[in-house]
Amino acid sequence: MATTPASSFEALMKGVTSWNVPKDAIPCELLLTGEAAFPVMVNDKGQVLIAASSYGQGRLVVVSHEGYLLDAGFAPFLRNAVGWLCPSPAAPAGVHPSLPSLVSILQASGVPAQVQPEVGAPVGVYCISAYVDTMTAELIQFVKSGGGLLIGGQAWYWASEHGSDRVLSRFPGNEVTSLAGVYFTDIYGDIDHFKVSKKIPKIPLYTR
């Protein structure tokens, strides 16, 4: 199993030759603060749109728009992500009902996947949108004890309703991913230009 950030990045990007970004999905910029967190997909402005990290015994892949989890053009990456996240090759991926079409995308890529409203056995990886606010404690415990979490969403719309000053601390996805040093923000992500990196992209360091 890939353990260093460099080998993890290689495993996540194996066979991925382009980012087929859906043009109708406006992502948010991800903020990385933890030592375990590293960028996977970065635009030419240095904004992180996909990141990976670890927490406890488990791992996370954080995607800056849930639409990326529902787009067949992302299938090669999604297959890699589930493979990297899964602690046991035999364990299926559980998919929250908020992401129904992800099941067929994963199954078409050879990944055993099923809709599962609750996180837990028998799944090794759980996939969920970042807007679900009823499973925070369960998701944290699942990852902490060795599970993999694939989570996607953007926080700019949530911020327009709840306030930008509350995003980092109160946005549902951040209550889970912040423990691994990854935050959804209310900053729009630019989707004009991407390149697929051979190694972990370098990003600017931010202090907030």
Q: pLDDT, tens digit, for every residue of 94-126?
A: 999 999 999 999 999 999 999 999 998 789 999
57-73 per-residue burial string, b: 16 or more CB within 10 A, e: under 16? ebbbbbbbbbbbbbbee
Instruction: Please give the single-letter amino acid code of residue 73.
Output: G
Domain spans of the chain?
5-188
**SS3 state at 52:** strand
Q: For 15-73, what is each residue's pLDDT tens digit?
A: 999 888 888 899 999 999 988 999 999 999 999 999 999 999 999 999 999 999 999 99
Position 55 scores a pLDDT of 96
DSSP 90-157: TSPEEE-TT-HHHHHHHHHTT--EEE-SS--TT-SEEEEETT--S-HHHHHHHHHTT-EEEEE--SHH
Q: Please tell me the distance from the alpha carbon of residue 5 to that of residue 158, in angstroms, as a whole number.
A: 31
Cβ atoms of 125 and 93 closer than 8 Å:
yes
Yes or no: say if 85 and 1 are a contact pair by the CB < 8 Å rule.
no
Cα 182 from Cα 205, distance rounded (Å): 13
| DSSP designation for 4 | S
Band of residue 205 on the pLDDT scale cut at 50, 70, 90: low
Q: Classify residue 192 as exposed, middle or buried by CB count within 10 Å of its CB (0-12, 13-18, 19+).
A: exposed
How are beta strands 93-95 and 125-129 bridged, if at all? parallel
Are 62 and 177 spatial neighbours (Cβ–Cβ below 8 Å)? yes
Average pLDDT, the chain: 92
pLDDT tens by residue, 112-163: 999 999 998 789 999 999 999 999 999 999 999 999 999 999 999 999 999 9
Instruction: pLDDT band for 1, please (50, 70, 90 cuts).
Output: low
Position 122 scores a pLDDT of: 85
For the cut 60, the answer to whether the pLDDT of residue 207 exceeds it is no
Using 50, 70 and 90 to split pLDDT, how confident is the model at 88?
confident
